[in-house]
Amino acid sequence: MSSCATQTFTGIIQARFGCLVKKAEVSGITIAGNAGEASQDGITIRWLYDPANESLELQCTGAPFFLSCGTIKPKIHDLVDECP
């Protein structure tokens, strides 16, 4: 699978980003810093958090062939929505 389109989220204050970091840690994914890339179970996610602009970019850059962007993108969106 090639990379999915980048999803950009706004209104991501530091506390909300912290919530997302904790959710990732519970899943066994370590998010260190405001930018990077992490993999778990064959899925690779790239992130770029800009605290000054309260924006977060998330992009799936790799996944098993049986997971499409159409499946992954809404899951990412749901995860972000779970952090108020």
- Residue 13's CATH number: 3.30.310
Mean pLDDT of 69-76: 92
**Residue 24 domain-assigned (yes or no):** yes
Q: Look at residue 29 and tell me if it is in a domain.
A: yes
pTM exceeds 0.75: yes
Whether 1 has a pLDDT exceeding 70, the answer reads no
Own/partner pairs for 74-77, CB < 8 Å, 24+ apart? 76/7, 76/45, 77/7
Structural domain contains residue 40: yes
Is the confidence at residue 49, as pLDDT, over 80?
yes
Is there a domain that residue 68 lies in? yes
Is 2 part of any domain? no
What domain count does the chain have? 1
Residue 30's domain spans which residues?
7-81
Is residue 1 one of the residues assigned to a domain? Answer: no
pLDDT of residue 27: 83
